[in-house]
Amino acid sequence: MLLHSKLIHPDINGVLGQAGHHSKVLICDGNYPASSKMGPDAELVSLNLSPGLVTCAQVFSALVTAIPLDAVNTMGIPDDDPYAKHGPPPVWSEYKNILKDAKLDLELEPIQKWDFYDSVMSDDHVLTIQTADQALWANILLTIGCRVN
């Protein structure tokens, strides 16, 4: 399900063009176990060029121009994780700005870490885009919506 977009990656466009409503796309950071935590029929596209290139936010910025979205889920930080005391990760602010700039009326909805993995490993998961992002807690799961025009 594609919209006119800035996205030019042929493999990503191919998977997204075949995906439909409720399909899930994971943009994962460099720490995510991309090869072992994915849906049974999902495709893996590795964009991890070198540490920090590309980032999840860069990929997200391209994808919001390419697909309609119903939901945007981040990986929730467990209360017992040392990072939890720092508040939301800075990258989440970047994601909020991307949604705002794209004029999408969506909120970031955290899914707790282990439930996040389960969501990714569902039959609805069609694509993982692996980045080399070094930001902590940068994983983001997108649910494709319906094209209305």
At residue 53, the pLDDT reads 94
Q: Is residue 139 part of a domain?
A: yes
Residue 54: asked if its preceding bond is cis (omega within 30°), the reply is: yes
CA 75 from centre of chain: 10
At residue 1, the pLDDT reads 59
3-state SS assignment for residue 82 = helix
Q: Is residue 80 part of a domain?
A: yes
Dist. CA 44–CA 39, nearest whole Å? 10
Q: Is residue 5 part of a domain?
A: no
Question: CATH number of the domain that 43 lies in?
Answer: 3.40.1650.10
At residue 147, the pLDDT reads 83
| The overall pTM is greater than 0.85 | yes
Query: Tokens representing 55?
Result: 């980032």
Q: Is residue 126 part of a domain?
A: yes
3-state SS assignment for residue 36 = coil
Q: Is residue 65 part of a domain?
A: yes
Q: Is residue 1 part of a domain?
A: no
Which domain does 46 fall in, by range?
Answer: 10-144
Instruction: Profile the chain (149 residues) by mean pLDDT over runs of 10 residues.
Output: 78 94 97 96 96 96 96 95 90 98 97 97 98 97 90
Q: Is residue 3 part of a domain?
A: no
Q: Is residue 94 part of a domain?
A: yes
At residue 4, the pLDDT reads 67
